[in-house]
Amino acid sequence: MTHRPRAERDAERLRAATVNRAAKTAAGNAAMDRALAQIEAAFGEAAAANDFKLRVERLCRLGPHHPTLRARFGARAQMLAGCNLAIATAKAERWWREERRAFQIASALGYGSRLSLEVLRELRLLLRLMRFKRLNAEFDTIISAWRGDLVAEAAE
């Protein structure tokens, strides 16, 4: 079985949901049921999780030296300097839990902003992906690139 990109698998999931829903319904409401199935497949929980993973895949394709990644993860990368990948992953998990708790409290008061929570969520997934792919050796280089160390050295 060959690997297919996530975007292709997502499109296939949408088509399959439509076909499955249409097969289960009577002919009279088939068009409406297909439309409802497509909406459910495109905007459900699975679609939201898949969209998040697609966003992180796009960030990975940019490469660690891209300015977007430095802007997005630079401050947290400063705090991860000197850590190994396992410790960095644990710290990111803790930061994400604390930020989620703070967001819940702020939202209850009407002041919640999701940006820092989303950045930590992306960082958390990226670090977990690095651990899964056993990128321990490349971790220091990636963190240095996010911190902008290589850019600063080139400017000197």
Averaged confidence pLDDT in the chain: 84
For residue range 58-102, what is the model confidence (pLDDT) as tens digits?
998 898 999 999 999 999 999 998 899 999 999 999 999 999 999
Domain ranges of the chain: 64-155
Give the pLDDT band of residue 48 (cuts 50, 70, 90).
Answer: confident
What's the CA gap between 70 and 106, in Å, rounded?
27
In angstroms, the Cα distances linking 2 to 5, 57, 58, 153 are 10, 18, 21, 42
Give pLDDT, residue 18.
67
Please give the residue that has the higher pLDDT: either 60 or 32: 60
What value does the mean pLDDT take over residues 112-124? 91
Q: Are 136 and 119 in contact (CB under 8 A)?
A: no
Q: How much is the CA Rg of the chain, to the nearest whole Å?
A: 20
Q: Are 78 and 147 in contact (CB under 8 A)?
A: yes
Q: Which of 10-24, 48-62, 128-142 has the lowest mean pLDDT?
A: 10-24
